[in-house]
Amino acid sequence: MVCKMCGKCCLQYAISAEPEDIQRWKRQDRNDILMHVMIFETSIGPFGDVLPSNTRRCPFLRKIKNQDIYRCRIQDTKPIICSKYPRIGKCSREKELKKNGIQNKA
């Protein structure tokens, strides 16, 4: 799958943080990330929910000025759930792109 950088996956879905994410961010001293995560302790480790920004999207998603392109500000250490998306191997924008005659080059 080739990412179209449309940002829809980061705008539409809740983002969670696995224990590995939280531990990694603590090791990396990434308080800029942790300040956006509501952490709760469980018997198998800390889990968290990434709190949406006031625009109701992932706080790490940034729109490129004057373009319909979005980028992740924490790409190098993004949550595991984001790294695994999309599980089905298709972009959430795939149907729209095909309807408009644009082929995904995956």
pLDDT at 104 over 50: no
Please check whether residue 20 is in contact with residue 80, taking contact to mean a CB–CB distance below 8 angstroms: yes
**Domain encompassing residue 58:** 8-99
- Name, in order, each residue with C-beta under 8 angstroms of 18's C-beta and a sequence gap of 6 or more: 47, 79, 80, 81
Token pair in block for residue 41: 């302790």
Q: Mind listing the pLDDT tens digit for each residue in 15-48?
A: 888 999 999 999 999 999 999 998 888 887 788 8
Report the chain's mean pLDDT, rounded to a whole number: 78
5/99 Cα distance (integer angstroms) = 18
Q: Is the full-model pTM beyond 0.85?
A: no
Q: Mind listing the pLDDT tens digit for each residue in 41-75?
A: 888 778 888 877 666 778 898 888 998 888 899 99
Q: Look at residue 63 and tell me if it is in a domain.
A: yes
25/77 Cα distance (integer angstroms) = 8
Q: Look at residue 106 and tell me if it is in a domain.
A: no
pLDDT at 105 over 60: no
The number of domains in the chain is: 1
Helix ranges (H only) for 1-106 are 8-12, 19-27, 31-34, 80-84, 94-99
